């Protein structure tokens, strides 16, 4: 908190400059001579609204949890995460290859940059993947997907549209004909993981490739994982659900794991070590290590199509490739659904769980959940 917050913009990505072949290259870049630049806001700078700056400073401070009880953070509203009217890319009907540019979104990105800079600048934070403990390093390298042809790294986060991004990677690599092919997603085959490479190959790509990640409201992501895995996936019901019910419910020995309550799920997360968590509910920070890996772009689930289109243009993917439409059966999470679950869960459970996900809230600019009695009575 003592470190002053300064505007920060990454230098132009060196990954976009032509380079000679490197040791152990899996595939050669299709067009090594491309030249690209980092997106900048209109006029070369970003205007910080006072309330948004206050929001960023609060999130970066050490007093977060002390504010939960009175719902103070609920009064400081983050900027809207939805695209401005008429904001389209060439994949959506017009526009150029500029970064999503409405003022509110520039403010959000600036807050994220400032907060990541402040937090990751602390002496104890890792500066590279090689400074991470072995287990944490394995996790992040297993979640970094590689496109050597288009020279980018994508850190996939379960429950943040990662299946569609994997589908795009397979199309870019030629393993899949179209993003619209109706096949059950194989999350391992025809994908290249950074963790399968040698140290010099890893270092080259981390230094020279365009790196991006997509994030989501932490509580919304947890609820999405809970409803999907325990409401629909038998494997998860048997592997996790049966144990959760047995552990946290009296006379729960007869459960087959399909009736886990949200409160029981949160109690399970409280007792789990973060590094041992399943990837579907492991914090984004632990999956992708934004201090050890310097990402060039952080996209939001809340404005998925606009941000995905920007990334696809940024890496110069073929113009016919677009981000897949959501399946007809998909039921998006609503604010009312999240509010229902949070307001019908013991506040103590949510408060005790927040420290495990506090870096996801603070680094990526999400407000802490409003669980005050007044809010829940409305």
Tens digit of pLDDT for each residue in 182-196? 766 666 788 999 999
Who contacts 286 (Cβ-Cβ below 8 Å, separation ≥6)? Answer: 136, 139, 274, 275, 277
Indicate the average pLDDT of the chain: 78
* String of DSSP letters for 77-127: PPPP-SPPTT---TTTTS--SPPP--HHHHHHHHHHHHHHHHHHTSTTS-S
pLDDT category at 113 given cuts 50, 70, 90 is confident
Q: Give Dmax over CA atoms of the chain in angstroms.
A: 66
Q: What is the pLDDT at residue 30? A: 39
Residue 300: what are its φ and ψ, rounded to 5°?
Answer: -115, 140
Separation of alpha carbons 245 and 266, rounded Å: 12
Domain locations along the chain: 105-364
Who contacts 243 (Cβ-Cβ below 8 Å, separation ≥6)? Answer: 257
In order of 83, 208, 211, 293, 369, the CA distances from 203 in angstroms are: 35, 8, 13, 11, 38
Separation of alpha carbons 194 and 147, rounded Å: 10
Whether residue 215 contacts residue 157, with contact meaning beta carbons closer than 8 Å, is answered with yes
Q: What is the pLDDT at residue 266? A: 97
Separation of alpha carbons 165 and 337, rounded Å: 26
Is 238 a residue whose pLDDT tops 80? yes
* pLDDT digits 0-9 by tens, 24-37: 444 333 333 343 33
Separation of alpha carbons 169 and 146, rounded Å: 8
Query: Mean pLDDT lowest for which of 21-30, 215-224, 293-302?
Result: 21-30
Q: What is the pLDDT at residue 51? A: 42
Q: What is the pLDDT at residue 180? A: 77
Beta bridge partner(s), residue 300:
215
């Amino acid at each position: 908190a003592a470190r002053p917050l300064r505007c920060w913009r990454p230098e132009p990505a060196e990954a976009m400059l032509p380079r000679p072949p490197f040791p152990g290259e899996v595939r050669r870049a299709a067009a090594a001579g491309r030249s690209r630049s980092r997106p900048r806001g209109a006029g070369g700078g970003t205007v910080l609204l006072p309330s948004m700056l206050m929001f960023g400073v609060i999130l970066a401070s050490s007093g977060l949890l002390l504010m939960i009880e009175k719902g103070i953070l609920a009064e400081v509203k983050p900027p809207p995460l939805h695209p401005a009217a008429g904001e389209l890319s060439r994949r959506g009907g017009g526009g150029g290859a500029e970064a999503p540019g409405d003022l509110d979104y520039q403010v959000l990105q600036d807050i994220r940059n400032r907060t990541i800079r402040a937090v990751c600048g602390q002496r104890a934070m890792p500066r590279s993947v090689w400074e991470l403990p072995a287990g944490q390093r394995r996790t992040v390298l297993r979640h970094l997907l590689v496109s050597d042809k288009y020279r980018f790294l994508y850190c996939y986060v379960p429950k943040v549209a990662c299946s569609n991004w994997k589908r795009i990677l397979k199309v870019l690599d030629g393993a899949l004909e179209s993003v619209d092919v109706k096949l059950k997603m194989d999350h391992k085959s025809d994908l290249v993981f950074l963790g399968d490479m040698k140290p010099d190959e890893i270092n080259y790509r981390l230094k020279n490739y365009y790196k991006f990640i997509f994030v989501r409201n932490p509580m919304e992501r947890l609820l999405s994982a809970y409803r999907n895995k325990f409401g629909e996936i038998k494997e998860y019901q048997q592997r996790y659900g049966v144990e959760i019910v047995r552990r946290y419910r009296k006379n729960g020995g007869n459960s087959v794991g399909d009736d886990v309550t949200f409160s029981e799920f949160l109690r399970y997360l409280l007792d789990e070590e973060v590094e041992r968590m399943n990837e579907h509910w492991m914090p984004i920070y632990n999956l992708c290590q934004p201090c050890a890996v310097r990402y060039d772009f952080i996209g939001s689930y809340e404005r998925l199509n606009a941000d995905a289109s920007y990334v696809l243009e940024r890496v110069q993917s073929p113009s016919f490739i677009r981000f897949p439409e959501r399946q007809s059966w998909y039921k998006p999470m609503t604010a009312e659904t999240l509010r229902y679950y949070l307001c019908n869960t013991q506040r103590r459970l949510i408060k005790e769980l927040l420290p495990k996900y506090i870096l996801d809230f603070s680094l990526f600019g999400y407000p802490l959940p409003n669980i005050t009695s007044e809010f829940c009575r409305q």
